[in-house]
Amino acid sequence: MPMKTTCVLIFLLVSFFQNLLAAENYPREWWAPVSRTGAPAWEILPQDAGPGEVVLSKRNELGVFSNFGEAQFILDEVRYNSIEGLWQMMKYPDPKWDGDPRRKLAASLWPYTREQVATLVGFEAKAAGDEANKLYTKYGLKLVSYHGEAFDYKDMGAGSEAHFQIIREATRQKVFQNPEVKALLLKTKGLKLIPDHETGTGKPKSYYYYNILMEIRDREL
Q: Is residue 138 part of a domain?
A: yes
169 within domain boundaries:
no
105 assigned to some structural domain: yes
Is residue 156 in some structural domain? no
Domain range enclosing 128: 73-151
Say if residue 105 is in the same domain as residue 126: yes
Q: Return the pLDDT at 25.
A: 87
| Residue 95 counted as domain residue | yes
pLDDT < 50: residue spans in the chain: 8, 12
57 and 79 in a single domain? The answer is no
In a domain? residue 162: no
User: Could you read off the pLDDT of 12-38 as tens digits, one per residue?
Assistant: 455 555 555 555 689 999 999 999 999
Residues 43 and 79 in one domain: no
Q: Say yes or no: 23 and 44 in one domain.
A: yes
- DSSP symbols for the chain: --HHHHHHHHHHHHHHHHHHHHHHHS-GGGG----STT--TTBPPGGG--TTEEE--TTSGGGGGSTTS---EEETTEEES-HHHHHHHTTS--TTSTT-GGGGS-GGGSSS-HHHHTT--HHHHHHHHHHHHHHHHHHT---EEETTEEE-TTSSSHHHHHHHHHHHHHHHHHHHT-HHHHHHHHHTTTSEEE-SB---SS--GGG-HHHHHHHHHHHH-
pTM of the model: 0.88
Query: Are residues 38 and 14 both part of a single domain?
Result: yes
**Model pLDDT for residues 67-88, shown as the tens digit of each residue:** 999 999 999 999 999 999 999 9
Domain presence at residue 13:
yes
Phi first, then psi, for residue 80 (nearest 5°) are -125, 155
Residue 51's pLDDT is 96
Q: pLDDT at position 20, please?
A: 55
In a domain? residue 216: yes
